[in-house]
Amino acid sequence: MFAYIVRRILATIPVMAVVAIFVFALLYLSPGDPAAIIAGDTATVEDIVRIRAKLGLDEPVYIQFGSWVWRLLQGDLGISIFTNLPVSKLIEQRLEPTVALTITTLIISVLAAIPMGVLAAWKAGSWIDRVVMVFAVLGFSVPIFVLAYMLIFVFAIWADLLPVQGYVSITSGFWPFLSHMILPSAALGMVFAALIARITRASMLDVLAQDYIRTAQAKGLGSQQVLIGHALKNAAVPIVTIIGIGVALLIGGVVVTETVFAIPGLGRLTVDAILRRDYPIIQGIILIFSGAYVLINLLVDLSYTLIDPRIRY
């Protein structure tokens, strides 16, 4: 078991190495002079020279890569071209809203999607099943920002129940925080919830066809006990797996959601960085987001032994 954990943790190293090489190499694989593109169309020669020096583009590639990785390992993500501030500091400033939004969305989606999937599988073929499947198809089809604007229109403008946009830290009260989180979480979580509901339904359908479910029913257990205690417990591994993989959808969606709802988080930072072509910030954000994704999926992998005692390493 311990050996497995160590091996699994070591396995994340090559993955993160590929991510690091990718974000580094992009600067060189892109057609044309990256310094000129980052400087924009109105740049002077001095601007381009300045940016080239700042990115270290005037040194040999292997030296650049070596020193970049060395600084990375020390937690130094480089300096923003536009603001001249360290990227790690900029990311730190914007971290809280994004983490709050992602975790709220994760909780709401999972709490909504798993019961939907369980019900759909239990009443397979009924109208409940149909409604859940329609939700799943729509969840995959309506893009986050389209859904976001529909929600804003109905709940914030027409019904005037929730704020249109903005972010309030949880330190200034739970309801102000939550009221600003409901619409963004609903918009961001739709695809994620659709995915989880779909997999939950599929996994439950498989389990409900097993003999031990019939036995449990035959010995007179209530349907709730059968569904939660016997079926869901055995269907949990694929569901937890898809929650881990689906986090990529949340992370990708954060960029758009924060733009629509004017939330000052990492997504907003990304968009500002694109508009100013501030590549060190984009590099840093990709590394942070991918690191978080790899870490979550590491935890998911390690959780299998807790969920299913049959799985041993």
Partner 1 sequence: MTVAPSDIALSAPAAPPRVGWRQRAWRYVRRHPTMIFGGVLLLVMLMMAVFAPYLHTVDPQALSPIRRLRWPSAQYWFGTDMLGRDVYSRTVYGARVSLIVGISVALLATTCGLAIGVIAGFTRWVDAIVMRIMDGLMSIPSVLIAIALMALTRASMENVIFAITVADIPRVTRLVRGIVLTLREQPYVEAAIASGTSFPLILWRHIVPNTLPPLLVQGTFVAAGAMITEAILSFIGAGTPPNIPSWGNIMAEGRSLFQVAYYIVLFPGIMLSLAVLAINLLGDGLRDMLDPRLSRRL
Residues that bind partner 1 (CB under 8 A): 14-19, 21-23, 26-27, 30-32, 34, 37-38, 137-138, 140-146, 149-150, 152-153, 157, 164, 198, 202, 205-206, 248-249, 251-253, 255-256, 259-260, 270-271, 273-275, 277, 279, 282-283, 285-286, 289-290, 293-294, 297
Whole-number minimum distance, CB 112 to partner 1, in Å?
Answer: 19
CB of 97 to partner 1, least distance (A): 17
How far apart are CB 229 and partner 1 at their closest, in Å? 23
Contact 40, 277 (CB under 8 A): yes
Closer CB to partner 1, residue 14 or residue 309? 14
H helix or E strand, kind and range, residue 165: none
65 vs 177, which CB is nearer to partner 1? 65
Farthest CA pair distance, the chain? 82
Closest approach of partner 1 to the CB of residue 14, in Å = 6
135 in Cβ contact with 116 (< 8 Å): yes
| 1 vs 29, beta carbon nearer partner 1 | 29
| Burial class of residue 279 (count of CB atoms within 10 Å of its CB; 0-12, 13-18, 19+) | buried
Residue among 36 and 182 whose Cβ is closer to partner 1: 36
Closest to partner 1 by CB, 55 or 227? 55
Q: How far is the CB of 19 from partner 1 (least distance, A)?
A: 5
Encoded tokens for 72: 């990375």
Q: How is residue 85 written in tokens? A: 């501030």
Inter-CA distances, 24 with 19, 30, 93, 278, Å: 9, 11, 24, 14
Contact (Cβ atoms closer than 8 angstroms) between residue 23 and residue 283? yes
Find the shortest distance in angstroms from Cβ 53 to partner 1: 18
257, with CB counted inside 10 A (0-12, 13-18, 19+), is buried
Q: Which is nearer to partner 1, 48 or 175 (CB)?
A: 48
SS3 label, residue 60: coil
Q: Which is nearer to partner 1, 8 or 225 (CB)?
A: 8
Output 54 or 221, the one with its CB closest to partner 1: 54
**What would the two tokens of residue 50 be?**
């300045």
How near is the Cβ of 259 to partner 1 at its closest, in Å? Answer: 6
Q: What single DSSP character describes residue 79?
A: B
SS3 content of the chain, % helix, strand, coil (to 5): 80, 0, 20
Minimal distance in Å, beta carbon 254 to partner 1? 9
Helices (DSSP H) in 30-165: which residue ranges? 34-39, 45-54, 61-73, 87-122, 127-141, 144-151
